[in-house]
Structure 1
Amino acid sequence: MTLSHKFLTMVAGMAVLVAACGGPPPGSSPTAGGTDVPPAGTDVPPAGTDAPPAGTDAPTDAATDTATESAGAGELDEVSLQLQWAPQAQFAGYFAAREEGFYEAEGLDVEILDGGPEVIPQVVGSDPAGPEFTISWVPKVLEVRGNAGSDLVNIAQVFQRSGTLSVSFTDAGITSPADFADKRVGVWDFGNEYEVTAAARAEGLEEGEDYQKVIQPFDMTFLLTDQIDVAEAMIYNEYAQVLEAENPDTGQLYQPEDLNVIDYNEVGTAMLQDAIFARAAWLAEEGNEDIAERFLRASFRGWIFCRENPEQCIEHTVAAGSTLGEGHQAWMMNEINPLIWPSPGGIGQLDEDLYQQTVDIALEAGILEEPPSEDAVRTDLAEAALDGIEEDTTGEGFEKGTVDVTPGGE
């Protein structure tokens, strides 16, 4: 069976599973794995994008010179980037790299491909005819490498921390995974649930015996309608969706004190999430490592820009076609930055301890039958990309801001 045939078979099989789950109810917002509703259409970015203020990361002369040498006589190398989900601030750094001219400065014309409930990025990106670059979670890619012959390689670990939470109302009395016993525990499937189920196993709890695992729709309706006791959520998305909803008992928005939150970074079962992947076969072709290095440099500078200019990155995200409102994107941008910054080794560098934790959990859960090969990760391209950036690449002094919750995320 050819590699393409394997992936077509996998896509067909997973499409059946998605259909079997029924999808989100009418009027809800698909949000699995830190996702958002797919856009009805992409808005045209506003004309006359503001230039970055002095002291921010406008393209440097060095970057421009490098791009000129690489691009030749004004021609840009065309590549595509597959997002894990629909446009939202989870991907603001890539929108910024495009709109602020960082990709063009590196001699690149980057097409950003929307994800959504019918797109499995690690499968799409694994296809030999697929996009050059893919955003996905690390365990999902390790799974397709181990089970389907994918040659996707982690070339930059953008998120340094996990955004996964379990959220419940305080009257449920769930403050740790040990409290899942005899409860209805909501999770997303398709690889989004591993941190939650691993934490339950660490407490000696098995699904179906000690707790009821419920596949929740791609939103928070099951929690809000008391169909589950605790829901999986991303700190930058679904957690905010609860806070943006009206508490029927008070007529006001839900407040943080109404909720108990389990953070899997603190529990110890956090797994690495958003990373940039490329196919090994594509990287091996002449000139493509140089393209990858330039792509990473521009993308990193996009994220640096979002660290320093979050409001402009919210505008870029909304213009890219986000469906949830500007208020929700502001919350998301404020929560995404702390998942990236600080990056002690520089943005895109792999935390080896958290990578090993990710692998160990994947092995224990049966996601992997054996540890991934060493070539599942490359750090040299990200290191080379960092060498060409003059701005602060670690964000050592980064401090999280505050945003106001808006009704419905508007």
Structure 2
Amino acid sequence: MATFDRRAFLRTSGLAGLALGLAACGDNGTTTTTSSSGGGGGFGSVKLQLSWKKNVEFAGEYFADTNGYFKAAGFSQVELLSGGGSGTSVESGLATGRCWAGLSAPTITAPAVLQGAPLKIVGATFQKNPFAIISLSKNPIEKAADLVGKKIGVQDSNELVWNALLKANGIDAAQVTRVPFQSDPSMLTSGQLDGYVGFVTSGPVNLRMKGHDPAYLLLADAGLPLVAETFTVTQETIDNERDKLKAFLTAEIKGWKDAVANPAKAAELAATVYGKDQNLDVKEQTEEAKMQNELVVTDDAKANGLFTMTPELIEQNISSLSKAGLTIKAEQLFDLSILNEIYQADPSLKLS
């Protein structure tokens, strides 16, 4: 798994007005998937930009490829463009036509939209953002109020989301000692920190594998709900390629249903096939897959289908963005009508 600072940076750099350049998705590391047409759709080839390097975070995409769902949906080719490094952002890639769809986050897409980019979020893989306050069970931070009087590691790239968390909970920054942090968990285990801002999908797993007993508080459960790994496309795609987008999202739903059902296989695909050049540990990836399933499968996702967002969740995201200094209307950023049509046409796609 990538270090917290880079991953977090890609999720929040848009807050600093850098959305068009820093959610890196490099030109290298593409995976060409289905190579022959099928399914009768005739949709040809598309490129999907991932938000990060190829690890288990994109298990649903791997299953959609491996199990032939993209092919069955009518795509002759799907390229998974690996993120990371210093490359073109999803938002910039969409604006220039370099990619047809991308996986991003509201904190990155919203600034681009506010700068005039005609983009929309049409679904959210992670119903809850992975950002969390990571601590140890012997000194747990279980609620936002527990932050008061504590020493918390916060990277510079996470400053705005950190400030938004404090604002959401009415905590004065002077009540918490913020410590410079560069993703080194030993600062926590040695007692230099009481907690740090990190990713719940990797931080607790890494600590547990090193013999520690971690605790965590999701920012989504502490007054700052935000989705993540959001499917982002241009308004033109929604207007002129709606059937193609439906076919693509249908294949993605099938892939993620498989990923949720089989974390071990998801880890195997990540470590030995799609991310085989990333030196991933299958055991660690399996545990991370289990952790991320908790972010993907919520009660609402069970009731309404993967990737869907209730009106309440949408409004919560808009409110969270406002706390981070981004004032945007729901209709400017989200369009969940495509997913609604997909599930209305085929309710069997919902989780059983």
Please say whether Structure 1 and Structure 2 have the same fold, judged by a TM-score greater than 0.5: yes
Instruction: Pick the structure with more helix per residue.
Output: 2
2:7 aligned with 1:32: yes
Alpha-carbon distance in structure 1 between the residues aligned to 2:94 and 2:190: 38
Q: Which runs of 4+ in 1 moved over 6 A?
A: 41-45
Structure 1 residues 42 and 141: CA distance shift in structure 2, 3 A? closer
Question: Which residue does the alignment assign to 2:63?
Answer: 96
Task: Report if aligned partners of 1:139, 1:272 keep a CA contact under 8 Å in 2.
Answer: no
155-164 or 212-221, larger mean C-alpha shift: 212-221
Q: How does 1:165-244 map to 2 (within 5 A)?
A: 165-170=132-137, 172=139, 174-188=141-155, 190=157, 194=161, 196-207=162-173, 209-214=174-179, 216-218=181-183, 220-224=185-189, 226-244=191-209
Alpha-carbon distance in structure 1 between the residues aligned to 2:253 and 2:181: 34
2:164 aligned with 1:164: no
Alpha-carbon distance in structure 1 between the residues aligned to 2:113 and 2:30: 35
Structure 1 residues 361 and 375: CA distance shift in structure 2, 3 A? closer
Question: Which residue does the alignment assign to 1:345?
Answer: 304
Give the drift of 1:215.
Answer: 5.1
Partner-residue secondary structure (3-state), 1:158: strand
Question: Which residue does the alignment assign to 1:274?
Answer: 229
Structure 2 gap ranges (5+): 11-24, 33-37
Partner-residue secondary structure (3-state), 1:157: strand
Give the drift of 1:222.
Answer: 4.0
Q: How does 1:211-360 map to 2 (within 5 A)?
A: 211-214=176-179, 216-218=181-183, 220-224=185-189, 226-245=191-210, 253-255=211-213, 259-284=214-239, 286=240, 288-318=241-271, 319-321=273-275, 322-342=278-298, 343=301, 344-360=303-319
Structure 1 residues 313 and 169: CA distance shift in structure 2, 3 A? closer
**Aligned AA (1:136):** S
Alpha-carbon distance in structure 2 between the residues aligned to 1:168 and 1:228: 9
Q: Pick one of 130, 151, 157 that aligns with 2:98.
A: 130
Instruction: Pick the structure with more strand per residue.
Output: 2
CA RMSD of aligned residues (A): 3.2
User: Larger C-alpha radius of gyration, 1 or 2?
Assistant: 1
**Aligned AA (1:166):** I
**Aligned AA (2:283):** G
Alpha-carbon distance in structure 2 between the residues aligned to 1:215 and 1:281: 43
Count of equivalent residues: 324
Alpha-carbon distance in structure 2 between the residues aligned to 1:117 and 1:198: 27
Partner-residue secondary structure (3-state), 2:98: coil
Q: How does 1:56-135 map to 2 (within 5 A)?
A: 67-68=39-40, 70-71=41-42, 77-108=44-75, 109-119=77-87, 121-135=89-103
Task: Report if aligned partners of 1:122, 1:144 keep a CA contact under 8 Å in 2.
Answer: no
Alpha-carbon distance in structure 2 between the residues aligned to 1:85 and 1:186: 23
Task: Report if aligned partners of 1:301, 1:389 keep a CA contact under 8 Å in 2.
Answer: no
Residue by residue over 1:60-97, the C-alpha shift from the partner in whole angstroms, topping out at 9 and shown as x without a partner, is: xxxx6xx31x21xxxx5111111111111111001110
Question: Which residue does the alignment assign to 2:119?
Answer: 152
Structure 1 gap ranges (5+): 1-23, 46-63, 246-252, 396-410
Task: Report if aligned partners of 1:165, 1:261 keep a CA contact under 8 Å in 2.
Answer: yes
